[in-house]
Chains A and B, each alone.
Chain A
Amino acid sequence: MLSPERLALPDYEYLAQRHVLTYMEDAVCQLLENREDISQYGIARFFTEYFNSVCQGTHILFREFSFIQATPHNRASFLRAFWRCFRTVGKNGDLLTMREYHCLLQLLCPDFPLELTQKAARIVLMDDAMDCLMSFSDFLFAFQIQFYYSEFLDNVAVIYQDLLSGKNPNTVIVPTSSSGQHYQRPALGEAGMLEGVEASLFYQCLENLCDRHKYSCPPPALVKEILSNVQKLTFYGFLVALSKHHGINQALGALPDKGDLMHDPAMDEELDRLVVRSRLYRTPRQHRGKEPGVFGFQRRGKLEALERVPSALAPTPNLYRWEPRE
């Protein structure tokens, strides 16, 4: 905790690095908004709950997009929450369109912008056919890259564009058969598909980028790994490689490995319990309350039955706590 690097940072920088101020401001804001309700049970308790939820990653549920985007930890929490809530959809094997995934995102964040989802979809689909169906895992990993590293990706796009158009003096443009045009294209689409940029050059630029900016970038070592495997690559090729790379996923720390994506035994147990309970309530109308339920006990009033539930399902924080990694 008291490592020399931390103590060496000047105050503001230290605070900014940890985004402490963001959370403080948000906490105070929440307090102000709900002061009537919160004042009932005490401010100290409120702050405890707030920061607990920040640690657990549940603070981003149903919050506005600006908050979710504010810190890397928020973004990672959001990704994780999305995974946990909708893993069942993936497990069911449904292939959904970009719009439907966007809907699911909106269930958790009402004003999530469509552009981000579209960009994520483009990574998966590699073209503009926005109505194609995507699998849950494909979308999720692409979305992770797009959302978590969105500023980084924007800059990468610019760099790529520059490289394509030859702004970098070190660029060697390999003429392809179909082109013969060297003028600048505004859109990234076709040029990126046909041509590509040299990987090593690309990597140099990216490295500069990572050094220059303090927002979250993928670990440079892993990026180097990706770029060292190929000679040339397109923008989307690069993104796809990013999204499928296990190391980056682990570095992010939000989602489990691809193989384990559908795997969450605790939640599955929970789900089973929920389903069973809902079955109990779905007894046909005529028989409501007259016969004993499936499990041999009289069906009590819904209210009582439900009230039993929260206690049984009190979250065990220790099981689900996870630390976001840098």
Chain B
Amino acid sequence: MIPGKYRSVSGRAANNVNCGLHLVIQTSTLPEKNKTEFRFSRDTSPFPGRLLQHDLERNYSSRQGDHINLVSSSLPSFPILQRSSEEKSLYSDRLTLERQKLTVCPIIDGEEHLRLLNFQHNFITRIQNISNLQSLIFLDLYDNQIEEISGLSTLRSLRVLLLGKNRIKKISNLENLKNLDVLDLHGNQITKIENVNHLCDLRVLNLARNFLSHVDNLHGLDSLTELNLRHNQITFVRDVDNLPCLQRLFLSFNNISSFDSVSCLADSTSLSDITFDGNPLAQESWYKHTVLQNMTQLRQLDMKRVTEEERRVASVVAKKEEEKKRESQKQSLLKEKKRLTINNVARNWDLQQRVSNNAINADRKDCASPPRDSCQLDGSTTSSLPAETGSLDSGLTSALQGLSVTDTHLVEIEGDTLSLYGSGALECLDRNWSLQTAGMVTTISFTFIEFDEIVQVFPKLKIKFPNSLHLKFKETNLVMLQQFNALAQLRRVDQLTVDPQGNPVVNFTLWKYYVLFRLSHFSMQKINGTEVTQNDMIMAERLFGILAHVASSELPQYRMISILGDARRKQFRYLLETKGKKPGIASEENNDSKRVMGENTNRATLNYTTKEWHNEKLEEIKEKKKFCQMYVEDLVKEATDINMKNEALQKLWPQMFIELVRDAVIEIRNKNTYMKVCLQQITDQK
């Protein structure tokens, strides 16, 4: 007999014969050694001449088959097996009945010492007629049609039970097999792990290619070293940390999608080898380092040794993930705060608008009582977040920067956009901004702020954010075309967006043309998202060109100067009020305004003065007006007096003249007396 090295590879992974337990049953070549040695090798020693089981069997079975006689028995369906005594003595402890086209287990007579029984590749549907083989250690029923585990209750010595590739639907009836060492149930229809908890000697459990959807109920398997669950539909794994000896766990080709569903693996200290390939989990970008991070005891992952480098990388990445998660949590918190604040600001704005509308209507109707809801204008309303003055974040250019979040206003820089909500936000322009941050800002967006208030901070804007090119206005109460004149103060505006919401000016037909006309020196490119065409510019000139002409050349010189002087003076007011007066800026202002004047003298007189300023100015002038009135009145009085006197004189003069002449004539009538009187007068004078 050719001795056979007959290797049974438990865990029939189709592609992978390099793993798992190798069960080697070696038979001795010499008749003296008539016992079967069971050697269980655990390492994957590469055997060059290793043959797969079925190959051997093909050679083997054909021989054995010759010597087996299946005799039909008296019992209706069970054949009785008999072996020749020669066979019996040669292979007393093993019986191979593979590929015998058996549909039932035959009754095996007189083989009570059998230890190895091989029924591979048959068509057996039920395990029967082997209850008498109580010395059986190795039972192989691979590739049959067994639907239920049964008939094994007397086989108390059984150690290896191979039931792969059958039709078993449920694990059951294994209660007495307490010595079971290897249980192979791959390729069946098992849906749940059960009734294995008593198998405390079980070392290898193969449930590959079944219909398992989850893994639990594994307690009691205190010796389990290898658990093969490949090619199932497992979505989560539990209880594995209750397996004190588990070293290898194969979960390839299942349905695990997150590490949380296999989180118990992290608690298992014995695991050293695990596979997850073929799971959705393995497709994730964070797969490798998450696994490595959570299972630091692992030595092999997906059949590849885990290197120190990988572990290091994994921990680094995991730390980064942690940080990112914390960051994103912070961000989402900030976002929430922002949203609430904006809602708050919007509410305040609405109230304000309603109150002012009421006030206007009340004025018009000459209503005596002031509107009642003015008391609700208090800034702190129902927001639940505490007011907090944020601190400047440094360095983060691409991430969101929530800089100042309080209940009543919000300031935010996001890359190149500075957004201001609520009138309190305008104070942020007083802060010290890093040059880098300020330099990057090209868009400034104003929401829920009165335009008149925004106008007052334009000088500051020019200085603090010199690169701002795009202005956006929403809910800023732009109602007059005149207000756009204020934009001329800025250094440069490339784009202008005026949201129709809250800005009635957009309803006017001519507003865009007016903007283009007034700000022609900016050569604006876009208004509300639409490109400015040559035709638009020409139309703007056509519509308002005469206004510019009238405003420049027909205005008397002194008016021109006074208007321009006013404008400049307003701009300088800011500079004078700032604490750090830098002479450089002052001259820059001069240059700016000179340049502005040079750009389009004919438009420069079109300025915007807010109602407040206007009224202020009128107030100032009142005194002067009064004085002028009085002065002119005095002049008039004088003039009329003089006129009266003049007229009176005119009237009286002839008479007076006649009287004068008469008096003179009367005096000179008597020459002598006259001479005497004159002489007397002369002597008197001495």
Query: Which residues of chain B are within 8 angstroms of A75 by Cβ–Cβ distance?
Result: none
Flag the segment in A164-172, A255-263, A271-279 that touches B. Answer: A271-279
What would 18 more interface pairs be, CB under 8 Å, given A34-B565, A99-B508? A11-B636, A12-B636, A21-B632, A32-B627, A37-B561, A59-B556, A64-B614, A85-B550, A89-B543, A104-B481, A270-B549, A271-B545, A279-B534, A281-B520, A303-B598, A306-B600, A309-B602, A315-B554
Is residue A159 contacting chain B, with contact meaning CB distance below 8 A? no
How would residues 248 to 270 of chain A score, 1 for a CB under 8 Å from any chain B CB and 0 otherwise?
00000000000000000001001
Q: Which residues of B sit under 8 angstroms from A21, Cβ to Cβ?
A: 632, 636
Interface string of B461-480 (1 = CB under 8 A from A): 00000000000000000001
Q: Chain A: interface secondary structure?
A: helix
Minimum CB–CB distance from B483 to chain A (whole Å) comes to 10
> Contacts A32-B628, A94-B510, A110-B614 known; A88 to B556 CB distance under 8 Å?
no
Report yes or no: B510 in contact with A61, Cβ–Cβ below 8 A.
Answer: no
With an 8 A cutoff between CB atoms, is A69 at the interface?
no
Is the CB of A92 closer than 8 A to any CB of chain B? yes
Residues of A with C-beta under 8 A to B605:
62
Q: Check: A106 CB closer than 8 A to any chain B CB.
A: yes
Asked if residues B621 and A302 are in contact (CB atoms below 8 Å), the reply is no
Closest chain-B Cβ to A97's Cβ sits at a distance in Å of 8
B residues less than 8 Å from A28 (CB atoms): 628, 631-632
Asked if A37 meets B546 with Cβ closer than 8 Å, knowing A11-B640, A275-B541, A279-B538, the reply is no
Rounded to whole angstroms, the CA-CA distance of A34 and B547 in the bound complex is 24
Q: What is the chain B residue whose CB lies nearest that of A52? A: B556
Contacts of B542 in A (CB 8 A): 88, 92, 271, 275
CA distance A97 to B505 in the complex (A): 12
Contact of B508 among A41, A81, A103 (CB under 8 A): A103
B97 adjacent to chain A (CB < 8 Å)? no
Given the interface pairs A29-B621, A37-B561, A103-B482, the reply to whether A58 lies near B556 with Cβ below 8 Å is yes
A-facing residues in B539-588 (Cβ within 8 Å): 539, 541-559, 561-563, 565
> With A49-B557, A59-B556 known to touch, is A106 a contact of B480 (CB < 8 Å)?
yes
Q: Which of A291-318 contact B (CB under 8 A)?
A: 302-303, 306-307, 309-310, 313-315
Residues of B within 8 A of A282 (CB): 523, 534, 537
Contact A32 B640 (CB under 8 A): no
Asked if residues B510 and A34 are in contact (CB atoms below 8 Å), the reply is no
Chain B residues near A149: list those with CB within 8 A.
none
**Residues of chain B within 8 A of A326, CB atoms compared:** none
Q: Ordered nearest first, which 8 A-B pairs have the shortest CB separation? A: A303-B598, A274-B545, A11-B640, A53-B556, A28-B628, A85-B547, A29-B628, A34-B562
* Residue A232 interfacial (CB < 8 Å): no
Q: Is A100 an interface residue (CB 8 A)?
A: yes
* Distance (whole angstroms) from the CB of A10 to the closest CB of chain B: 9
| Interface status of B618 (Cβ within 8 A of chain A) | yes
Is A194 interfacial (CB 8 A cutoff)? no
For B606, what are the chain A residues with a Cβ–Cβ distance below 8 Å?
Answer: 107
Smallest distance from the beta carbon of A143 to chain B beta carbons, Å? Answer: 17
Report whether B481 and A33 are in contact in the complex, using a CB–CB cutoff of 8 Å: no
Asked if A29 and B624 sit within 8 Å, CB to CB, the answer is: yes
Chain A residues with CB under 8 Å of B546's CB are 84-88, 267, 270-271
Partner of B554, one of A24, A56, A88, A100: A56
B619-663 vs A, CB cutoff 8 Å, 1 = contact: the mask equals 001001101110110011001100110000000000000000000
Chain A residues in 8 Å Cβ range of B321? none
A86 CA to B632 CA, complexed, in Å: 36
Least distance between B455 CB and chain A CB atoms (Å)? 13
Within 185-209 of B, Cβ neighbours of A (below 8 Å) are at: none
How many B residues face the partner with a CB closer than 8 A? 63
Given A28-B631, A37-B565; A275-B601 close (CB under 8 Å)? no
Min Cβ gap A279→B in Å is 7
Which residues of B lie under 8 Å from residue A309 when comparing CB positions? 601-602
Bound CA–CA A28/B558 (angstroms): 13
A23 to B320, CA, bound (A): 79
Distance (whole angstroms) from the CB of B430 to the closest CB of chain A: 29
Complex A-B: 7 CB contacts under 8 Å: A12-B636, A38-B558, A49-B556, A107-B606, A278-B520, A278-B545, A306-B602
Q: Within 8 Å CB of B640, what residues of A?
A: 11-12
Residue among A25, A32, A96, A279 facing the most chain B CB atoms (10 A cut-off): A25
Residue on B nearest A268 in the bound complex, by CB: B546
| Residues of the B chain whose Cβ atoms lie less than 8 Å from the Cβ of A33 | 562, 621, 624
Q: Is B599 an interface residue (CB 8 A)?
A: yes
Q: Does B609 count as interface, using CB distance less than 8 angstroms?
A: yes
The yes or no answer to A15 lying at the interface (CB within 8 A) is yes
Residues of A near B555 (CB, < 8 A) are 53, 58, 61-62
**Given A100-B510, A267-B546, A270-B546: A25 and B628 interface contact (C-beta under 8 Å):** yes
Whether B672 sits at the interface, judged by CB under 8 Å, is no
Bound Cα distance A175, B639 (Å): 60
The answer, yes or no, to whether A203 is at the interface (CB within 8 Å) is: no
Q: Which residues of A contact B432 (CB under 8 A)?
A: none
In the assembled complex, how far is the CB of residue A164 from the closest CB belonging to chain B, in whole angstroms? Answer: 23
Given A34-B558, A271-B542, are A62 and B601 neighbors across the interface (CB < 8 Å)? no
From A29, A81, A100, A110, contact of B609 by CB (8 A) = A110
On whether the beta carbons of A275 and B538 are closer than 8 Å, the reply is: yes
Hey, which chain B residues are within 8 Å of A147, CB to CB?
Answer: none
Interface residues of A in 278-293 (CB under 8 A from B): 278-279, 281-282, 285
Whether A25 and B629, one on each chain, are in contact in the complex, defined by CB atoms closer than 8 angstroms, is yes
CB B513 to nearest CB in A, in angstroms, measures: 9
Query: Nearest-CB distance from A29 to chain B (Å)?
Result: 4
B436 adjacent to chain A (CB < 8 Å): no
Q: Could you tell me the distance between the alpha carbons of A46 and B562 in the complex, rounded to whole angstroms?
A: 12
Nearest B-chain residue to A277, judged by Cβ: B541
Q: Which residues of A contact B391 (CB under 8 A)?
A: none
Residues of A with C-beta under 8 A to B683: none
CA distance A194 to B406 in the complex (A): 59
Chain B residues contacting A81 (CB-CB under 8 Å) are 550
Residues of B near A85 (CB, < 8 A) are 544, 546-547, 550
A184 adjacent to chain B (CB < 8 Å): no
- A111 contacts B by Cβ under 8 Å: yes
Confirm or deny: A50 has a beta carbon within 8 angstroms of a beta carbon on chain B.
yes
Closest B-chain residue to A86, C-beta based?
Answer: B547
